[in-house]
Structure 1
Amino acid sequence: MTVNNLDFYDYKSEMSDELEDMIKDSDITFNGKNRGEMYEELQDLSFDRDLTGNRTGSYWCNELKAERALLGNFDLVQDSLDELGMDSIDIPDLISGEHLDVLVREYLLPKVIDEVLDDHNVAPF
């Protein structure tokens, strides 16, 4: 297998799709609510259903799967670390692929929620 043939995990797309599925399986409606209210509802739903893996400490519950998702996504790892004001992953809690995967998911969650709200034409006010 060559590097050119690898399909890297698309965090934003996968998380957006999963959040859309969560919305379908919930009682959330977009009618009559402003963006702030909807954002909070989707954030609560994401945490309740553990879209980030933060509640359990792992989204995948499998180190190898987490590491595969990170492959080709180290820019997101760096962006996540930068967001937290961290220079590196020298912190023992962040050494595992599962913890880094959760970190990336937590970093992307606000962007994913905004994207889903845009897809549902929820006005930005």
Structure 2
Amino acid sequence: MSAVIDFSDKLTNEDIIITPAAREVMGKLFADVDDDEITAIRVFVSGGGCSGMTYGMTFTGERFDHDKVMQADGFDVFIDSFAYNYLKGVEIDYVENGMNGASFVFNNVFASTGGSGACGGCGGA
């Protein structure tokens, strides 16, 4: 007998938290896009190794079969199932740092993977 896996494409605030400050800026950036093919903001994960994973966002016009979707005010957020494994429980915030400018910040990025952020000693110098 084979097991049936129930896949939900809905993202909730329990899966990933987007702070009000981040939602506001994401909404403004999305509204400024002058391309009818852009339908959402994709949150992604890439990289690995000693420098850790890289977390980011980009505009997208393509939704994949295993994307999870969060509906926000005026835009959608897509996260593919691979990235979701690293992003579950993450908080995306927008922080203004005075002279250093402003940026999106991913908080609690190690919560879902149990990592510590420390290098495991791969031998690189």
Shorter chain as denominator, the TM-score bin is under 0.3
Higher helix share: 1
Relative to the length of structure 1, the TM-score reads 0.28
Greater relative contact order (Cα 8 A, min sep 6): structure 1 or 2?
1
TM-score (norm 2): 0.28
